Amino acid sequence: MLNHFSIMDVAGVTRDEALRVLALYTAVQVAATLGTGALLDRCEPRLLVPLAMTMLAAACALPVLGGGNTVSWLYSLCLGGAYLVR
């Protein structure tokens, strides 16, 4: 998260929109953290790790592949969801 605003700047996102993306990221991370317990009751952790790693890879690739608000929102959803299994 140290480079969040510089990544968003390179993607062509204003500082205000970057703050909104950060808020969405935080909300998704909270939901993923709280939902992890329910998921672990129903699924084995070894099944959730590939999902989390795929989301982290997507979050890393999205700023390189495109720019703008849509990519930024997808980035925050993927990065927040990547912390599903820690």
Considering the domain boundaries, does residue 6 fall inside one?
no
pLDDT in tens, 24-73: 888 888 888 888 878 888 888 888 888 889 988 998 898 788 777 788 88
| pTM (2 d.p.) | 0.67
Domain boundaries, position 55: 14-82
Considering the domain boundaries, does residue 4 fall inside one?
no
Considering the domain boundaries, does residue 57 fall inside one?
yes
pLDDT, residue 57, reads 92
With a pLDDT cut of 90, the percent of the chain lying above it is 3
pLDDT in tens, 2-25: 677 887 787 777 888 888 888 888
User: What's the total number of domains in the chain?
Assistant: 1
Burial 49-80 (b: 16+ CB within 10 A, else e): eeebeebbebbeebbeeeeebebbbbbbbbbb
Considering the domain boundaries, does residue 8 fall inside one?
no
